[in-house]
Amino acid sequence: MEAVTWIVLVVDATLRVSTPLILAAFAGMFAERSGVVDIGLEGKMLGAAFAAAAAAYVTGSAWVGLLAGIGTSVALAMVHAFACVTHRGDHVVSGMALNILVAGLGPVLSLAWFGQGGHTPLVADDARFRPIHFPFADRLSDVPFLAQIYSEIASGHNLIVYIALGMVPLAAWFIYKTRFGLRLRAVGEAPEAVDTAGISVAGMRYRAMIVCGILCGVAGTSLSIAQNALFVRDMTAGMGYLALAALIFGKWRPVPTLFACFLFAFADAVQARLQGVDVPGVGIIPVQAIQALPYLLTVLLLAGFVGKAIPPKASGVPYVKER
């Protein structure tokens, strides 16, 4: 019974922690599948987190916050696309530049607007995405197993968690079963073929970056006004890079990427619960060792099980029509 409860709670935490990771990883998938390398996921999330917190605080509405977050993130994505697609700049340089820009701009703007240093004021409860409780969840929580799954795992998350989980099959369907998806994949593998077919390569890549911006915007919003109630400096804490790792881990495919995100989040949830616990036969594991767990897991799996990860052929290569 104890063990079941433990597992249920860890799965619950995994879902919560993985949400921004899944959204960002899928944002990266759209970008990279179209041939745009995007290490600016971190910056877009951070920008969205700031905009969402600021807008939600000022207007008192979580939805306005979400829109502001998405808007900011899409705008940043467009800058990236302008530099990389239109002007054929280096993708890594542009992405990194945006990351650095946002890392500085967020705190500076919050200082200028709210006068509280590197963070926004606390956002009121009704201006946040609060946990949604399914009907009867409270009453069922004592009934073992199935009811526990319903009341603990399925119920009680904020809206964005459900949005992220719903987005996954939608994105997979989009990429593999629609005309847009086919062209998206083609433009990342063989842009000249797409061009020959009379479809604008730049147009496809811009559209992909808009989708990327929207998803990053939702991810950033979930950090600042769903999981927290304010924006603080560097609050993404490397999550954008972790999402990129999950994407590579998942070989740029939706389902493996989803599981890579779950794996990272699961390792994180487990390490929070293993700290200071007396593991039978081992004793108390030092904090440092436990906190290295997610990274250790990544290295082991990447080296041992995943095999070669091959990116879309044209990713990071600017498309030149004629030479």
Partner 1 sequence: MKRVIVAALAAVGIAVASMTQVQAEDFTPAVVFDMGGKFDKSFNEAAFNGAERFKADTGVQYRDFEVTNPSMREQALRNMARRGAQVVVAMGFAQAAAVETVAQEFPETKFTLIDMVVDLPNVQSVIFKEHEGSFLVGMAAAMASETGKVGFVGGMDIPLIRKFALGYVEGAQHVNPDIEIFQNMTGTTPAAWNDPTKGGELARSQFDRGADVVYAAAGGTGIGVYQAAKDAGKLAIGVDSNQNYIHPGTMLTSMIKRVDVAVYESFSAAQDGTWQGGIQVLGLAEDGVGWALDEHNRSLVSDEMEGAIEQARQDIIAGTIQVTDYMAQ
Interatomic CA distance for residues 3 and 246, integer angstroms: 28
Question: Would you say 51 or 269 has its CB closer to partner 1?
Answer: 269
Q: In degrees, to the nearest 5, what angle opens at C-alpha 89 toward C-alphas 218 and 196?
A: 90
To partner 1, the closest distance from the beta carbon of 64 in angstroms equals 20
Question: Would you say 206 or 262 has its CB closer to partner 1?
Answer: 262
CA distances from 73 to 20, 22, 142 (A): 14, 16, 42
Question: Would you say 12 or 38 has its CB closer to partner 1?
Answer: 12
Q: Which of 125, 72, 61, 131 is nearest to 102 (CA)?
A: 72
Interatomic CA distance for residues 16 and 158, integer angstroms: 9
To partner 1, the closest distance from the beta carbon of 237 in angstroms equals 5
CA distances from 132 to 46, 57, 138 (A): 25, 21, 12
178 backbone dihedrals φ, ψ, rounded to 5°: -110, 165
Question: Would you say 88 or 130 has its CB closer to partner 1?
Answer: 130
Question: Would you say 52 or 184 has its CB closer to partner 1?
Answer: 52
CA distances from 43 to 17, 92, 215 (A): 19, 13, 13
Q: Judging by DSSP bridges, how do beta strands 278-279 and 131-132 pair with one another?
A: unpaired
Q: CA 62, 63, 64, 65 torsion: positive or negative?
A: positive
To partner 1, the closest distance from the beta carbon of 8 in angstroms equals 9
Query: Which tokens in the block code for residue 3?
Result: 């063990």
To partner 1, the closest distance from the beta carbon of 276 in angstroms equals 5
To partner 1, the closest distance from the beta carbon of 222 in angstroms equals 10
Query: Which tokens in the block code for residue 70?
Result: 């998405």
Question: Would you say 23 or 84 has its CB closer to partner 1?
Answer: 23
The footprint of partner 1 (CB under 8 A) covers 9, 12-13, 16-17, 116-119, 122, 130-131, 223, 227-230, 232-235, 237, 268-269, 272-273, 275-276, 287-288, 291
To partner 1, the closest distance from the beta carbon of 76 in angstroms equals 21
Question: Would you say 32 or 42 has its CB closer to partner 1?
Answer: 42
**Secondary structure class of 43 (helix, strand, coil):** helix
To partner 1, the closest distance from the beta carbon of 121 in angstroms equals 11
